[in-house]
Structure 1
Amino acid sequence: MAFDLIDDAGLREASASALELHRNGHSLDSWISRVADWLTHVEAADHDTFVGRDFQHQLWEVQTIAATGQGHIDVSAVIADKAIAEKLWSLKQAKLPDSLSERIAWLGAAWEEVSALVVALTIRKPRLKQYRVFASLWPQHFTTVAHYQKLKSLGRALGLSIGSDHRTELHQRILQRLDDAGVAFRSRGERMTLPWVLYVHYVQENGSEATELPSESAGDLRLNPLPAGRRRRGMLAINGSVASVLAMLEFAKGGRKRADFLEHIRSVNPKLATNSLGTNLNALIAEWGALRSSGDDLFLTPRGEAFLESGETEEVSDWLLTQILGFDNLLYVLNQAPLPQKQAISRLQKVNPGWTSNYAPTALINWIKGIELAELDAGKVLHLTQRGREWASRIHWIPGELPPVVKDAGESRTDTPAEEIEDLWSNLPTLSEIRAAFPADLVFDASLIAQLHAGLWNRRHPRRHFAVLTGLSGAGKTQLALGYAKALWAGETDLDPGQHGYHIVAVQPGWHDPSSLLGYVNPIDTDVYMRTGFLEFLLRAIADPDRPYVVLLDEMNLSHPEQYLAPLLSAMESGDAVELHAVGDEVGDVPGYIDYPSNLVIIGTVNMDETTHGLSDKVLDRSAVIEFWDINVDDYPGWTSSVLGAGALAQVKAVLSALMTPLRAVRLHFGWRTIADVLGYVEAGVEGGALTAAEALDHSVYAKILPKLRGEDTKRLRDAFDAVAGVLESHSLSRSAKKARELCADLREQGSARFWR
């Protein structure tokens, strides 16, 4: 719905509508409540508290009022400076003038006074953080729109004239405009946040072409990336540096005719070819998003105005990250790990297979270095700078790539013959044969094996044999996958020594491309291909299409599967060949392309914790996800082979069974690996003669079960921890019970609990 924000009635109606929209979609009341609590905290601070380092750290770093913009600039020296803290205290105590004009002048002078002290201690001007300080001290005179160009856009929409106002003035004029229009507020927090809400819903662009959209977190914006196919292909047109771009924008300030602007570019760079003049102009429009054209007239965009005013490339980060092909890809991979420049070029060539030379990737890398997002070390390895990490933190998506260049028909076979598929399926053992082939000490529910089998062998997808096993750590995911793989080959008798129909890959952190699995051409000796065990297994599968070859990706999400599996995931779906290298027909005996084997079975195991990554839709869409969390302590097969006496064995089983129930309710329970470890510890302790069974059980529970107990305070978690402590006390496991009670106390008194503290 469109509202006229210049009209008082329209502004009142728009305000009510925007607040309701934000309440329903973006947790507005929660944000207002946090703002109110924060402002009360600031107002209540006495002198000693206020000038103290802890309070100053909160004042400069808390993001309650505004979380957008340049919020990563290091202000630790400012926080530690007593003179700045005292200056802020004295300003806070001063009585502000009653008249609007005098108050505008007073706050503007205060801003400049503080800014002069701050800028001497920081590399860049921390405008956002200083704004949050001022808004915290004088909330009745500031909005929550921290970004000045967004504030100017809102001011124009409200009918205010925007000149060379001080950045603190416009906040007051916008709030005065709302007051004059008779907009009603429930609280001062709502008065502060309404300008942001109006901007988000009725001023900024919110369509599919917008570079930023409201995030789920109130008071913040999230980037809205274009898909790879719709992006500008590179940053090639403008030679020079950021200073060159700013110089051209300075000339365009206030509006220019196209012919005048092109003549200006020629005067700055007389050697530039005539056909390159328009290319430079189009780059400012399409590659930087800093200019817009209206017929024959050129104007700065709000983004261009902000860039020109501050000189900070952060003002165009939304455009570069969401509109330029390869820009986000490079920052994304460098945020995972540094790369030699040659590898960075190769990665960009994968993003756009049309970049067959180094020219375009090198130009993009040079711009990223020129913007000071990355730098080369002495070994020519490309690292992100602090600013680069700040930009990369805004990438909440997995950057896309253009599809591979289509090969000539004779280069690869894209379809597997139907007879090969049929022979493979006819040779598969039945589900009952697979169950029977599992070792007796691997006790899995029959339905679980059936789920895995059905997920891998869906006849509607003859190439897609891919399953992901997720669930409780130590529940037997790896053993299930390995047992299934062995069962597929249980009847085979003609295997060569050392050859199996399965291959285990221990996925490592830092796998950012397929070379970890598929190998790569030796960069020093390009006649040598660095093979991997997985590639050898893959070639074996291709040579033997009638039998299933199972690869187990153990802890597959320690790295991003969509990165290191990318060519296999694409080929699995399309039937296209998998590219190994682009050097020629063969490197050694490794061809440039191989067919995707329809007999390849991939089973990945997944644990979800702080050391792992989530799975993208690209992976989930191609796999059958099987989750199992429920563990029956009585079903553990090791009970019957234990050397413990009946009494001690019964106590171990009783304690573990009793602990399993409350911990299962909060998904902190344990699997068979832990049961085996506890039982083995007790057996060793008793056998050594130094510990009784009860003492050994106490030590083992303390060492193997309690360290995983953690979480934030909720009733469910409190009940679970209380029940755990009760179980341990009832079985006289005093050491473990004491620790459990400490965790219970931490949960209630501190709001969270961790074993390690």
Structure 2
Amino acid sequence: MSAQQDLHLVLKYNNATFNIDTIKEHQQIIKQHGKVIWGIIKPTPDSPGVGKDKFQKIKDQVRNRIETYAFFVMNSTYKAVGKIADLLTKEEVRDQKHLVPAYYRDDTLDRCVAGVVIESIEPLENEKQVKEALIRYGTQDGEVALNNQTNPLYVSMKYPLTFHKVITDIPDESIRSIVGATQKYIASKGFYYTGRLIENFYLSLRTKPFVILAGISGTGKTKLVKLFAEALGATEENGQYTLIPVRPDWSDPSDLLGYVDLQGTFRPGPLTKVIQRALQPENRDKPYFVCLDEMNLARVEHYFSDLLSVMESRRWDDEQSGTITTTELDLGHHSQADPSHDRLYIPDNLYIIGTVNMDETTHPFSKKVLDRANTIELNEVNLAESLSFYHQTAEDEVAEEGPTTRYGNPFLRADYLILQDAFSSETASLIRRVVEKLDGINQILAQAHLQIGFRVRDEILFYMLYNDRFQLMPEQEALDFQIMQKILPRIQGSSMNIKRILVELFNRLGNTNLSEQDHGLYDEMKLRVEANPPYRRSLSKLAEMVRRFEEDGFTSFWMA
């Protein structure tokens, strides 16, 4: 079937009718349920509905997986485009009225003659292109009369149009340029992040879909998650980015996953709703991002431990297609009340990022949490350097960019779950070098029973192997990030043994010969760090931890 024979809809609306943002109201329902019903309302009893032949044609197109669109028009201007998932009769609309926006769910639904099920609504990037491509259905070049009273209008395309095509074929050679484009997008929004933060964030997500962003308030942790997701085409509007603020009174998984009410009905939590959307067959190639904002306002082990355990059950579902599955989530005794929530698991297109502040209002992390995440610290604040960034972008007249491409889940999905997946003759040398370094570090950590296990070793190796494949940063710099994120957060205490471990780690990484008994130890360490040696980030953190020990008699990775 050619593009000219396919049937699409033009749906007109007017925000002034109900004094609301019509598109936004429908996008909110998509965000909650993964789809929305756009009701076709008869303005008068004599107004025509949807012709049976056209109704059936659109249903057949959708059934045959032909992409079918709805173009949303206000004041004779194309505003947005949506992908049609189905057409419903007026009786079917009433049966699914929870998918109808509340502003006309009750008062106006009686005049609804049909419903268009929309699975995504996004702003049009090029209205002129759409105007030139659309023609009246059944004609060769008939102009679409947007100003007449008919609603909906039936249209076809002179030539195929694609809207936010999701790119899933992503070779290794393209990863570096995509990460660079992501940095450029974030900069265009006026946000400045130092060093190789974006590369590190990407590698951490690729290694494991659970990352913690830690640091003082106001460093842009939450904004980083949102903008990174946006750069890949995942937004709040299309339901692929969700912010979940954590409350201090959360005490068990039901706050995230849901609960059974007194009537026996399961009420899905915010994370369960995202998981349901991500598991829809049409969404399996799209990444979904969840930002748990201020994650440690409540005790993470209380409300998140079950999810951590399920994450650790990741295994290959189909090695040929590269899909990953987990054990099922325990949502409580709700299945009899609502079987639609059965058999949920954490899909491989779901990425959970927690933001945390470490101060007197928050809770510390246990080793169980730290072992299972890359903990990226955003405490490096250089006010003068960031100011020069804004001067430079002003001079260069950097335009605000929008995400012009939607990258599919293969951009982030893990290729390695166990070390055997990564081991080959090409990777053996890198693996050996990294493990030798980790063995030396482990011997030092063992003095206080802080040594890392096989899980942490493997995840560090995965990170290093991805970095080597995609050539994002030098090997030593990548290992520096991993020591900072996977090893140093484990160290805390008030015994002299802890200070000795910090100094020995500094000596091993910095190739120095300092002693914990040295006078002016911190000053000497600081001088070495200022010389910009290899493993500078880890050395700087070790020096700060020694300084805190000398001043307070106690130290930890977290500088509260």
More helix by share: 1
Answer whether TM exceeds 0.5 for this pair.
no
Larger RCO (alpha carbons 8 Å, 6+ apart) = 2
TM, length-normalised to structure 1: 0.26
| Bigger Rg over Cα | 1
